[in-house]
Amino acid sequence: MDLNTFIRLYQEFLYECNQKGWSTEVLIEEFGNYLTAIKSMEGIEVQFFIELDRENCEKINDKTHQGNLKYGVLREKGKGDLFAKEVLDAFHKYWAKHSHKKKTSFILYKR
């Protein structure tokens, strides 16, 4: 999967979060790194992150590299545990439904 396709899926996932009544605020949006605060209707906030591991990319050819994706949820221990699990479960379901590839490897095209 190329990074642009993944970014589109990530943005659509955040839209789906808003449809569930969760509020989202993108805190960091850089090439390959994303951090979003997601708040439940009850006011519990977690931070969902996605990080593309560019340091350990495998060179396929001069213009193409393959890297791995790391993602997860940061939360206040105890208080946000259940909501963090709910966010991860929602992401996994969304990913399985909308992605043709389940592996978290991404192709980066250098210009």
Alpha-helix residue ranges (DSSP H) falling in 1-111: 3-19, 81-98
Residue with tokens 């250098």: 110
pLDDT at 47 over 50: yes
Q: How many CB atoms neighbour CB 91 within 10 A? A: 21
Per-residue pLDDT of 48-104, as tens digits, reads 998 877 676 677 777 776 777 788 899 988 878 999 999 999 998 888 887 765 555
The region, left, alpha or beta by phi > 0 then psi within -120 to 50, assigned to residue 32 is: left
The whole-model pTM stands at 0.79
What residues make up the domain containing 21?
Answer: 3-109
80 close to 45: Cβ distance less than 8 angstroms: yes
Question: In the chain, how many domains are there?
Answer: 1
Greater confidence (101 vs 22) lies with: 22
What DSSP designation does 100 have?
S
67 close to 54: Cβ distance less than 8 angstroms: yes
Distance CA 90, CA 75 (A): 16
pLDDT for position 108: 39
pLDDT for position 106: 41
Greater confidence (57 vs 23) lies with: 23
